Amino acid sequence: MPQYDTIISGGTIVDGTRMPRFRADLGIRGGRITAVGNLDRSEAARVIDAGGLYVAPGFIDLHTHYDAQLFWDPSCSISSWHGVTSVVIGNCGFGFAPCHPKDRDRAMLTMTRTEAIPYECMKAGIPWDWETFPQFLDSLERRPKGVNVLPYVPLTPLITYVMGLEAAKTRKPTDAETEEMCRLLDEAMDAGAGGWSAQRLHPSGGNCVQRDFDGTPMVTDLMHNDTALALARVLRKRNAGFIQMVLSTSDPRADIHHLEELAEVSGRPIIFQALRSTDSRPDAHHMTIKWLDRCYERGLRIYPQAIITDAGLTFDLAQDLNIFDDSEAWCEAMLGNVEDKLHKLGDPGRRPALRARPPQTATDFWDIIISDVKDPAHKHLEGLTLGNAGEKLGKHYVDAMLDLAVAERLRTEFFAPAHNTRLDLQTEVAKYPWAIPGVSDGGAHTKFLTAGVYPTEYLINFVREGRAMSLEEAHWKLSALPAYAAGFTDRGLLRPGYAADVVIYDYEGLKLLPQEIARDMPANEWRRVRRAQGYRYIMVNGDLTFVDGKPTGSEPGRLLRHGAAQDGLA
Ligand SMILES: [Zn+2]
């Protein structure tokens, strides 16, 4: 019997520790790395020739919403196409467990707006063979998975399960209800949950961009601070788990002191979203960085996830869109089906309110581009910004958009460039030592966002082209740092004893392909995707999942209870 299942031979290893790269072989057995060094006299069932290629730890994506998609796409694409081998689900307080059977439909409807996951996909694709969180984990355990999955307990379903949706949004829980939430969290953590998550955007409009199906804030936006503190104490008592929280530091009303208090009370790491640059306010991220540095001086573990991918949005107004929800008038006008929206967006009586404060989507509204018109008579507007189209037509830019969209039954396609297109500012964020690359939002916003490309973009923009950091630094940030921050106990490095999650790639050949439409969702739904070139082999727990971008059909991913696969095998 050969000594190794696989030897990855002759590659240049960047092991994730930030030590200098070195030429060596990697021996793998039972899903784990068992040797690093010169293995040319050893026997292996399979030898992968990595000559001329880099061998690095698989990427760890801490911010995804694959909670639904992984049931119909066990590979969790597009993340897995870009070298991601482990994902964290249940982010932002959103998810599907615990859930009373009678509330399943409402739970899916919630996700249609806040994370823009098509309802028909969820309806056709989610098996719903659970009620409690531990049962949900058992269901995940039984399913084939192409990547490893580490779950949070999302607080929206947890609070809703105990109080009911209406009460959860209108009053503080009683002591008995809070106690029950803590008991359920304890039970979920016993079953292996990594911690809990919540979105905390200011409930009164403003920055509340991720709303519920009916346009109201999410349960966790309205959650009382005392509830969060009680749940933080559960983690303290267990001395385990971490908290993920979305907060807008650019909103003066954002309660960053509450975040510090949670870090203090729990004594646990907090993963906070998001550190990002803003083109129009080049100083904004410096403020967040100063705040984080002060937190570290005080001994608080608050780690920022950084949006350093250029996440422009392609959309039409017929879709379930949440990107305008920071404006009350827009949020209201964008509720309902296409007929409802056609009526509201075409209504001259509503226009003054829609013009008054256009939403701050990915970009300034004025700069949104008319990317694809459906009626040849409108061709002269294609490629113009709304600002330019408004000038050309002699009307307000909001009217220019809405008149055009209504005339084309909302099928006109628009592109909102991101707020953070300036590469010099993105680089400052990327270089902050504790900034975890990510916020792919994988599995969410599937019709207009492809931020799952971030690992590929990171290596290209900040190492190969931008030379802002070394490859050693980049791989530490893409794998080891998130593994440490989120409690993965045996992943993120290429060292003996670690799980064999490996990316083998052609550094010079690494390339991002253009956005395209894929019709590969349940219920004949479509999504936008972006592929990469240059990843020769992607390996999860010692099994190849992709070779030259083609899936092998192997599904070696594991559920990571308590941060690791529990049976000793990787
Ligand atoms: Zn999220």
| Residue 198, amino acid | A
How close is the Cα of 299 to the center of ligand 1, in Å? 26
Checking if the pLDDT of 123 tops 90, the result is yes
How close is the Cα of 219 to the center of ligand 1, in Å? 14
pLDDT at 405: 96
pLDDT at 122: 94
CA angle 87, 155, 203 (to 5 degrees): 110
Angstrom distance (rounded) from CA 143 to CA 380:
51
pLDDT at 217: 87
CA dist list (Å): 430 to 60, 306, 413, 423, 454: 16, 7, 31, 10, 12
Residues above pLDDT 90, as percent of the chain: 81
Which region among 202-211, 338-347, 475-484 has the lowest average model confidence (pLDDT)?
Answer: 202-211
Confidence of residue 252 (pLDDT cuts 50, 70, 90): low
Tell me the backbone φ, ψ of residue 281, rounded to 5 degrees: -130, 80
Token match 């947890």: residue?
A: 158
How close is the Cα of 261 to the center of ligand 1, in Å? 22
Pairing of strands 502-505, 535-540: antiparallel
How close is the Cα of 246 to the center of ligand 1, in Å? 8
How close is the Cα of 548 to the center of ligand 1, in Å? 30
How close is the Cα of 384 to the center of ligand 1, in Å? 31
Angstrom distance (rounded) from CA 39 to CA 98:
48
Angstrom distance (rounded) from CA 543 to CA 520:
24
Task: Please state the separation of Cα 60 from the chain's center in Å.
Answer: 11
How close is the Cα of 65 to the center of ligand 1, in Å? 6
How close is the Cα of 395 to the center of ligand 1, in Å? 36
Checking if the pLDDT of 157 tops 60, the result is yes
How close is the Cα of 374 to the center of ligand 1, in Å? 32
DSSP string, 272-301: EEEE---TT-TTHHHHHHHHHHHHHHTT--
How close is the Cα of 6 to the center of ligand 1, in Å? 36
Sheet holding 313-315, edge to edge: 313-315, 413-416, 369-372
How close is the Cα of 155 to the center of ligand 1, in Å? 13
How close is the Cα of 88 to the center of ligand 1, in Å? 11
How close is the Cα of 63 to the center of ligand 1, in Å? 6
DSSP string, 356-410: HS----SS-GGG-EEEE-SSGGGGGGTT-BHHHHHHHHTS-HHHHHHHHHHHTTT
Residues above pLDDT 70, as percent of the chain: 97
How close is the Cα of 388 to the center of ligand 1, in Å? 33
User: Do the Cβ atoms of 296 and 269 come closer than 8 Å?
Assistant: no
Half-sphere exposure of 519 (CA within 13 A, CB side): 2
How close is the Cα of 334 to the center of ligand 1, in Å? 21
How close is the Cα of 94 to the center of ligand 1, in Å? 8
How close is the Cα of 290 to the center of ligand 1, in Å? 24
Confidence of residue 207 (pLDDT cuts 50, 70, 90): low
How close is the Cα of 142 to the center of ligand 1, in Å? 25
How close is the Cα of 442 to the center of ligand 1, in Å? 9
